[in-house]
Amino acid sequence: MNIVCNHCFTTNRIPDDKDHTQAKCGKCQQPIYAKQPVNLSDNVFYPFIERNHLPVVVDFWASWCGPCQQMAPVFTQVATETPQILFAKVNTEQAQQISADAGIRSIPTLIFFHQGQEIDRVSGVLNAVQMKQWIIGCVQKLK
């Protein structure tokens, strides 16, 4: 399995018999897995969503967006409870090209990616139960 380090964004190969949540990056020696969502910018967005073998849920948000601020702790909570999926955030004000490429028209918007391909998206505020149910539905689409 390939996992992109959340610190230096180097792709690391993790043997199937090893736990990715305990692995360290071969380049920077930092833990490659973060329980907290990783902040992605224009220059690391595509490598992160394309090179990871695990699914990636990306929250497109903005600092001025009240609903985004309301959902942020829920997103972080679900991220800490779901180690088999990676979580990332994109500030639409700072990563305008990525937001445009992704067709973001309203925020917050969550997009579920698997190896660079969009599997599903949902816009608007979700509570933890709704977010987990949506993620489960996305994982089922992969099977």
Query: What is the set of active-site residues?
Result: 65, 68
Distance CA 7, CA 63 (A): 23
User: CA separation (Å) from 70 to 45, 73, 100, 125?
Assistant: 24, 7, 23, 8
* 46 three-class SS: helix
Q: List the structure tokens of 18.
A: 């090893």
Closest CA to 135 of 31, 58, 61: 58
